[in-house]
Every structure is written in structure tokens, then in C-alpha cells.
A and B are shown apart, each in its own frame.
Chain A
């Protein structure tokens, strides 16, 4: 098996506030306050992922999961270190990105699919599958501005999940849609997994990570705290303690 994602010594620094007004800067300087304010979102993170592995990326809020995902996706580039990937990247990351409320569902499918990297021919070929999956009925030719929030989200998911990828990233929890739709999504994700696609799945839900993934990475304040077995990772994070409520009770995704 070959490497699918290689992340080497990656760090990423962010500034807390960029756009300061003249007034703010003057006041801060007059009071001799510190003007720069930055923090490390990722701090020397390294790991390798083999083709076909399913990785669960876990961590508390603000631990750097989304930043890491954006670096793997190529939206951001690391300050130091390197990220390398093999093959086409897609996934449940840009669902509904670029949807224009005045365009119809049909027009938005083409636009969003192009944003996700699909060609016109590929979109044509998958169009029926996407519309079946989104289950919009005769709303397909109405502007998406008139869609219910569920329909809007379903359409976004349906497009994203049908992009052929070699690396599939999933950031958004499957928290949209009704139960039948969630079940359908999980089934499709399984299919993707079984076709040898590398999966990079960000989630707080221990049960779905356990179902989906065969390895877990845990980020702690930007550092890679754990890399290994799924059960051990969940335990490391303390998510196995059910005294504070199980996934079921808290209403997490399937």
C-alpha cells in the first residue's frame, strides 16, 4: 500500500485580530499594550496515512482539527513543514458552498459540482444519482432560496458525496436531515470506504468514529496527542465515559 497523505512537522500560526482601525491602533500604542497577538493553531504535527485507511480526527473544540483538515485539503498552506497528498481530494467539506439562492437546484448542482472539482461530463453522468439522493422531487427547478433548510442541506450533501475522490474529507457531522437521510449518508460513506478511498473524518461522536474508522488521531491544543487504535483513542480523549450521557442521549449523529 502506498502513502496517501504525508504531513511532516506542520505548524500554523494565526493572529487573533487582523483588521484594526486607526483608532484601535492609536489607543493600544498610547496605553503601551501589546499590538501583535498570535497563537499556534497547529504545532509540529506529523503523521502518515496509507491509501484506503479511515482516519478519525478527534479533539476538543479549538484543538486545530479544522485547520488540519484545511491544510490537507489545500485551502491553507502550512507556515512550516509540508503536506503532500496523492490523488483527488473531495468530501463533505464544501457542502452548499457557492450555492446561489436565486439559481435553481439544477443550476446550483452544476456550479457546486464544479467547485468540488467535477467536470461537466462527470456532473451530467451523475446528475440523476445526485437528484435521487437529494430527493427534492419537483423542487429541482425552483431557486434554492425557496428550499427548506433540510432540502438545502440534503442537496449540498448529495453533490459532495458523489464526487469521485481518492481522499475523502468529512468535517461536518451528519447532523442535518432526518433519520432516513442520515442512514443513507452512512451507507454511502461505507461504500466509499470499501472502494479503497482514504477517509479523513472529523467528529466528536465516539460511536460513529468507532463504526467508520480504523485509526484515530487526537489533537490537543494544536499538538498531536494520540495516534493509534480507535478504542484507545476514544479512551485517551475521555469520550468513553458514559456517565455524562451517551451519544444516544445527547442526540449525536447516527
Chain B
């Protein structure tokens, strides 16, 4: 499947083909993996992502509108439960935004790893027939999840407009860092889990269980101030979770600027050294991604016969 000659110069008779191929080396027909493989097959990657995105709401009358309806109803539900029913809103400003921006990060992560885990097994018929870089599938799972963020951002943007959100530069940096951590971390795990699922079908079940824990292991439904108060002096374990750090960074970006006294909010609801912790988490995630790629390369040759 290697594209060694430009289409325009492809030969049409035996003599010119032999001449053209004289320059082409003999190589192993196995696909080139890794980032270079994906970059080389980026057109295919784009089409696969498009296929997943259009297939999700295909055939429904409202189509892509559903991707707005889902998060919108969720958001309204949080406002109802947290602000009106449980009265959290009295203690914490704009708690619905706190929950919603956090849940966007968490669901980006959980969706990516659960779709990523299944991605290779689900595309088994393709993998058995075509020599393409196998990393394409877990990577496509990440891109599909990222694509589905946009409707959520639109709804968040409307909510932020009502609160008069005007973020300082540091807040925007925090948001970028938070999303960076979560994407690299999810991609690394997705890569490893996708190949693990091929050999051990129990992986998918484990991922579901872990995903349930993740929702409560990050300051989403509760503010970080609660953790700091209860685990006083012992918050390091809680903060060693890169997902928790990513969630806090994204809150720093979207939620903190909506509060009246930002400095007070940061002092109360953000851990100290948040940015340093963020950069450490990002470095950790990058190391994980590197290891994941090594593990993937080590086992990928066995994938076609095992699925």
C-alpha cells in the first residue's frame, strides 16, 4: 500500500513500468506504523473520522442537532439539581458551569478510551484485508471524541456569555494545558487498551468499571475545596491523578473567571502549584504515550491473526 510513485507518472505499459520500478527498492510489505505512518495516511484517517461522525446520527430526523440536544439537556439538568434542588449554588457561584466544563473533560476522556479500546476489534474486517497503520483506529477514536466537543463548547459559550466571562491570559493557558493533558493521556491509554482488547476481551469490561470510578475521582460533582478540607495535608494522592489535574485546569479556565472574586476562588477551590502540577502531568502523559507506542509496535504484528 505504499505510494511510491506519483499517480501522474504511473506507467501504462510493461517497459515503462519496469523502468520506473528499477528505482524502487524491495521492501517489506508490512505497513509503517507510528506517527509517520498516520501522517502518511492522514487522508484515510480523515475519511474514517468522517465515517464515524456521520454514522452516529445518520438516519435520525434531527441528525446532527442531537449532538446539541444531548449536552443542552444535561446542562439544564445540572442547573436544576445543583442550583435549585441541592442549593449548592448558594455556597458556590455558577456551580452548573463548574460541573458542565468538568464533565466535558471527563467525557472526552472516557469516550476516547472506551471507543479506543474497541476500535481495533470493531474494525477487524478492515485490518484483516488492508495493510494500513493500525494506530489509525485508536487515533481516530480520539478525533471523533474531539469533534463531538464542539456542540458542547457552543452551549458552554452561551452560558459563559450570560455570566460575563472575560478570562485573563493565565486562564486560557490553563484550559489549553488541561485539554493537552487529557488528549495525550487518553491517546496513550487508548493505544495500549486497543491492543490489549485484541488479546484479552475482558479489557473492555475493566475500562467500563474504571470509567465509573473516574467520574467520582475528579472534582466534578463536588468542588475541590471539599477535598482540601477533608483530606487536609493528604491531597497529593488525589492530585496525582492527571485527569483531576486536567479537570481543575479547565475549571481554572472556564469556571474561575465567572466568579466575582477570582483570587478568593483560586485560593479556596484550586490546589497550590496547579500549573506546575499540570506540566508534570503533561510530561507524564507524553512518557505514557511513548511507552504505549512501543507496546503497540511490539504486539501489533499479532493483531490480524487474533481478531
Contacts and interface: CB of A to CB of B under 8 A. Distances in A.
Given A51-B17, A102-B59, A197-B17, A6 B1 contact: no
Nearest to A100: B51
Nearest to A82: B28
A87 B22 CA distance: 10
Interface in B1-57: 1-5, 7, 10-18, 21-22, 24-31, 43-44, 47-48, 51, 54-55
Contact of A116 (B18, B123, B130): B130
A6 B26 contact: yes
Interface in A60-100: 70-77, 82-90, 93-94, 97-98, 100
A74 B26 contact: no
Give the bracket for the number of chain B residues in contact with chain A.
Answer: 35 or more
A88 B131 contact: no
18 contacts: A18-B306, A52-B17, A52-B18, A75-B127, A75-B129, A76-B305, A83-B29, A84-B26, A84-B27, A85-B27, A87-B24, A89-B2, A94-B126, A98-B125, A117-B2, A119-B7, A125-B7, A166-B17
B301 interface: yes
Contacts of A125: 7
Interface of A: 1-4, 6, 14, 18-19, 51-52, 70-77, 82-90, 93-94, 97-98, 100, 102-103, 107, 110-111, 114-117, 119-122, 125, 164, 166, 194-197
A100 B7 contact: no
A111 B12 contact: no
A160 to B, nearest CB: 10
Contacts of B148: none
A15 to B, nearest CB: 8
A229 B30 CA distance: 30
A212 to B, nearest CB: 16
The 4 closest A-B pairs by CB, nearest first: A196-B14, A74-B29, A74-B131, A94-B129
Best-buried of A71, A89, A166 by chain B (most CB within 10 Å): A166
A76 B303 CA distance: 8
A3 B26 CA distance: 8
A88 B2 contact: yes
Given A2-B22, A82-B28, A164-B10, A94 B59 contact: no
A218 B31 CA distance: 27
